[in-house]
Structure 1
């Protein structure tokens, strides 16, 4: 079961007619899921998808997303998830760089015109067909010999390419083998004690490893029933928890903060919740305590991961609230941690990516000769190996659970009329963890800067605040001194 097709077939054989997915009135059993995937995979093959070819999926969470993704693996292809909030040019860049043969798109999501936006972008020379995910059933065909294709998939074949960004702002595609994607999903499920009896509400987006690998794939390895949600809203989430008796609710800290502060929380029964797994930011002890006491969640654990390694450390059931809040837990089986030069966190093990797509130089810079992945985070390890992140070597910040890379935002804003210079910094925010502040030199108004960004960037990347300066603080080498900007903000906050 070290490939995604094998995990899917095993889940169908073990759980059969048990519900694999519930989305509103639509219920799909494990056996039916396998049938949908087989037929869709056959359609992919007849549309030109060959072994190792890429399929890009640009859509919000849904059962159809799951079918589109699993069919990619079953047809011997490689999955390329695209952030559902990306603009057309951002999505087109990923499609072009991966040479995707097929692109599955949720046209009209959030009132936008994704298919038209994608076709309006330059490139797309590799694409044989753009498929509206609402019409995915028209792709299905008789399976024919597709099971033999699935059986030929190797644990060492590349299963997926998930894109992140580096400090230069250029997105990089982290490649994982099937054995890694299935292995980390299985490890996460085992540490969380996830079983076939669990009902798992998936708020984490499927395009993210937290939704795809420890969501979809963990569902296959455990037999849990998954309930995908396309967008998060507190009332809808609480209604789903109550009506469906949800037991597992992973998410970024902002999810739980939103539930705790929801004015109608008292109108909903959330007592079915037993497991919450969070991460992505330093979490106040009081939040963990309130998750346990006010939301009634029996087990609350924290974890540390990244696109290049998915899950590295994880707290365990029974850890005290202070440890869960102040640390990211200990290395999971198959992974190890160390502290290198300048206090940088290094990680090594089974689930570290194969490398960056078509970028051997970036791969060599990230993974050293001894196999250690240099995370760019500064951390500390206690005597038990519990990890505490203390700072970042990189400028990346986390807003609502999403990584934001300032260099990418800065490159966009520098093209705006009236922006002569700009630096973007993540600053603390009670609800989102961190939000972006753009320090701008020039005549462009704050409204103009934000409007320009909204047209070209996903909403979580758009700076929440704009501050005008006469000049950015720089050192003799010309590098912007972002710590000075952060310290200036702290002084103003006092």
Structure 2
């Protein structure tokens, strides 16, 4: 099978640091020493002190009986303790299992059971309630210990963070050093669970060297460096906050400013106070900043580097990030959990149109092609197909799901992403939609992302999402959910006229519904499953006879 191969200039990749977590952190302590590593809630920790904390947490893990291959979960918002717990567990060869902070108790318990988690790090309270209460009725036969990261909110029968760290004194120093040295680059470092939008969530397995190699190259490509102040709003349970977040920052020697939850004013304050230079996020993050009524009250001039990506990144958003928010560099990228977070990315030197309209070309050492999902034939440049990826970034597989792994990774090592895309003659990728989001109207394939991109350019539209809904005799038609900009007097007829002028008839939404906001997950992606439920209710009510 032919593919788009890395170009010659991509072969000069970043100089790689050590390829295991314990060796990486020892190296970073030597490289960056007393430079600020993490600033969290008034606490400032240098690189040397962070490595000491990491080793102390690793010794405490050993004292708790955690060893190589054991599964350790973290169910908590972004914090310094989250990072230290993760690095400590990985330093003795344990596998990190991050949990989405929005999960209900039964959802979290399902992951804890299937992963065989032996130790859980969490906090006193999450969005859905106290984790101990949420898990109280669940059977968790492998779970031996729960440790609270936020000291002062603990319950008497749970181990608090400070007490956990004190357990390091009981660990044999020589045995701990041997445990660190026994961690190999090919050992599994983490198990991140997919969102489960197309069925039961799957645990994606990635190794130490995959994580470090991918994000050393990612950092080199986007231009992240040791002078950057990196505000991490993306959740640590997601690749964007963990791997492209604090791991990438540690590789480069950047200063890390974790944000536990998104609050618009708090975000603006943090940018101004800490002179933030690096701020990645989903398109919705930048849209919220641009729409913030108090934006001009804060000095955002320090912003330098923005990295975003999604099936739909409006051209106008990229322009606004440069012109209104003052970013020197804006790049778009594409990746998924199964690709260790990254597949392709634009380069800072790319022309504005390329950055606005594509998600770049393949990362160094990664192969990329688009394949007809029915025939399996590689599509020529300019033709849409399912995006397939091959390279060092492809996951090791799904935990305990060999059939799902075999269905996702071909015998030749190609990862089938489930995304529809188009490669141009230069090897630059444009994602047109999710394969599962496509709907068929009168026999014509319709990709909602194309319509969404168009709607973002309509004056008065702040956000837009499109789904397919059933309707006879067409089979399916489009329904557009539109969020107006504050003060915009946008009508349904305005939306319809705009679409009619620029879209083929079969692509024009049959329904337009104005909403106050779009449902999103913690990573800023629109939850189209929830939109489908709203559409079902709306259509059912529309069919009811008038009283």
Distance in 2 of aligned mates of 1:182 and 1:173: 19
Q: Which is greater in Rg?
A: 2
Give 1:237's match in structure 2, choosing from 256, 267, 271.
Answer: 267
Residue of structure 2 equivalent to 1:215: 245
Distance in 2 of aligned mates of 1:385 and 1:225: 34
Mapping of residues 50-129 of structure 1, within 5 Å: 50-110=67-127, 112-121=129-138, 123-129=139-145
Mapping of residues 359-374 of structure 1, within 5 Å: 359-374=401-416
Which structure 1 residue ranges, 5 or more long, are not aligned? 400-405, 407-422, 433-453, 473-487, 489-494
Deviations 1:31-88 (A, max 9, x none): 1111111111111112121211010000010101101111110121000000011111
Distance in 2 of aligned mates of 1:349 and 1:94: 28
Greater Cα offset, 251-260 or 19-28: 19-28
Residue of structure 2 equivalent to 1:466: 534
* Residues 383/13 of structure 1: CA separation in 2 closer, same or farther (3 Å cut): same
Greater Cα offset, 293-302 or 275-284: 275-284
Q: CA deviation at 1:428?
A: 5.1
Say which SS state the counterpart of residue 317 (structure 1) adopts.
coil
Q: CA deviation at 1:351?
A: 0.6
Correspondence 1:379 to 2:421: yes
Q: With the length of structure 1 as denominator, give the TM-score of the two structures.
A: 0.81
Deviations 1:71-114 (A, max 9, x none): 11012100000001111111111110110110011221347211
Greater Cα offset, 364-373 or 458-467: 458-467
Check whether the contact 1:238–1:268 (CA below 8 A) recurs between aligned residues: yes
Q: CA deviation at 1:168?
A: 4.4
Say which SS state the counterpart of residue 393 (structure 2) adopts.
coil
Residue of structure 2 equivalent to 1:138: 163
Q: CA deviation at 1:4?
A: 1.2
Say which SS state the counterpart of residue 135 (structure 2) adopts.
helix
Which structure 2 residue ranges, 5 or more long, are not aligned? 1-17, 151-159, 374-384, 439-447, 453-466, 468-475, 486-520, 543-547
Residue of structure 2 equivalent to 1:402: none
Distance in 1 of aligned mates of 2:249 and 2:366: 22
Residue of structure 2 equivalent to 1:315: 346
Distance in 2 of aligned mates of 1:467 and 1:183: 43
Deviations 1:165-220 (A, max 9, x none): 45641110110011101111111111111111110000110000011111121122
Residue of structure 2 equivalent to 1:442: none
Give 2:221's match in structure 1, choosing from 178, 191, 205.
Answer: 191
Q: CA deviation at 1:263?
A: 0.3
Distance in 2 of aligned mates of 1:150 and 1:461: 43
Give 2:388's match in structure 1, choosing from 346, 357, 364.
Answer: 346
* Residues 461/228 of structure 1: CA separation in 2 closer, same or farther (3 Å cut): farther
Q: How many residues align?
A: 426
Correspondence 1:250 to 2:318: no
Residue of structure 1 equivalent to 2:299: 269
* Residues 54/426 of structure 1: CA separation in 2 closer, same or farther (3 Å cut): farther
Correspondence 1:304 to 2:340: no
Distance in 1 of aligned mates of 2:64 and 2:76: 20
Distance in 2 of aligned mates of 1:69 and 1:431: 41
Distance in 1 of aligned mates of 2:484 and 2:395: 31
Q: CA deviation at 1:6?
A: 1.0
Distance in 2 of aligned mates of 1:386 and 1:322: 12
* Residues 278/428 of structure 1: CA separation in 2 closer, same or farther (3 Å cut): farther
Say which SS state the counterpart of residue 109 (structure 1) adopts.
coil
Check whether the contact 2:189–2:206 (CA below 8 A) recurs between aligned residues: yes
Distance in 1 of aligned mates of 2:332 and 2:368: 16
Distance in 1 of aligned mates of 2:206 and 2:82: 19
Greater Cα offset, 322-331 or 368-377: 322-331
* Residues 167/361 of structure 1: CA separation in 2 closer, same or farther (3 Å cut): farther
Check whether the contact 1:167–1:395 (CA below 8 A) recurs between aligned residues: no
Q: CA deviation at 1:321?
A: 2.7
Q: CA deviation at 1:469?
A: 6.7
Check whether the contact 1:282–1:326 (CA below 8 A) recurs between aligned residues: no
Q: Note the aligned Cα RMSD (angstroms).
A: 2.8
